Amino acid sequence: MKNFINSCGYAAIDPWFITGFTDAEGCFYISIFRDNKYRWGWCVKVSFQIELHQKDKALLEQIKSYFGVGHLSNNGPTLIQYRVQSVKDFKIIIDHFDRFGLITQKRADYELWKQAVEIMEQKEHLTEAGLAKIVAIKASLNWGLSEKLKEAFPAKILPIRRPQVEDILIRDPHWLAGFSSGECCFYVGISKNSNYNAGSRVKLIFQLTQHERDKELMRSLVNYFDCGNIYKKREEVDFQITKLSDLHEKVIPFFQKYPILGVKRLDYLDFCRVAELMRNKAHLIEEGLVEIRKIKAGMNKGRLDGSSLAVV
């Protein structure tokens, strides 16, 4: 297997990392569209895909190398997609996720998707009954049926029961490294505060966000890290760690051992730089605050260049 290079060296991609990253960024997709070449006038396409910013092309190439199937393609000027859409290649995808199981609600999407793959393997999707089964599966998958499909298919086709996701145990720390590589944010907050000599307060936040349907998984992270808090906002749940000692003693050492991959790795390294400056009280003086502002400006959306990442 190839190695992914970042500015901290080499890190072999782990199977659990792949699963965690898929829980964050992957999609098990069923497409149903009009095509008169088929007897019933509809074509069914099934795919497994991950779409990222172009800056993370190296990470997608690493994932493609891990599976050994699929292809990369550009999706507009800024996005790149890894996609597997050959039925014969789905066995590799299924073998992986049956061994290294997803634990977010995406697990339910995977189980439904797998049923659709089985129907296609048997060529049942070419029959009226098989097509109806796949429409029923799609109705429970991801965001359900489009208005166009609802109008095209009879009301008697009801969504099949969505599988319950009950096993949310994080079995391997590489899962959390992969999930964080997709979903986490390393944030540096700077706000005016006259109680500080430099006139501003600096706050570091490590955050993971999920839809409220995965709130139990988010809550489990408090026990996993033995620190942090949960915050509910609209339909989302945030897990945050903000205490500087917890960041130094728990978060940073964790990701040193189980690395963040992709361009977000650079945000983590900048986060570590700010954390070290704060440990040395540099944020309390003007010179240190200027340096922290400079680091913050180049993080997250401010980062324009992912060229320090490569694949060999």
Asked whether the beta carbons of 186 and 268 are under 8 A apart, the reply is: yes
Beta carbons within 8 Å of 69's beta carbon, 6+ residues apart: 84, 86, 89, 92, 93
Amino acid 36: pLDDT: 80
**CA–CA distance, 20 with 263 (Å, rounded to integer):** 17
Beta carbons within 8 Å of 138's beta carbon, 6+ residues apart: 30, 32, 116, 144, 145, 149
Asked whether the beta carbons of 203 and 191 are under 8 A apart, the reply is: yes
Alpha helices in 78-214 (DSSP H): 90-99, 106-121, 128-140, 147-152, 173-183
Amino acid 10: pLDDT: 40
Instruction: Profile the chain (312 residues) by mean pLDDT over runs of 10 residues.
Output: 38 89 96 81 91 94 96 92 95 97 96 95 87 88 78 71 88 97 95 78 95 94 97 93 97 97 95 96 92 92 54 30
Helices (H) and strands (E) counted in the chain, each on its own, are 12, 11
Question: Which structural domains are found in the chain, ordered by start?
Answer: 3-102+106-152 (3.10.28.10), 182-311 (3.10.28.10)
Amino acid 232: pLDDT: 92
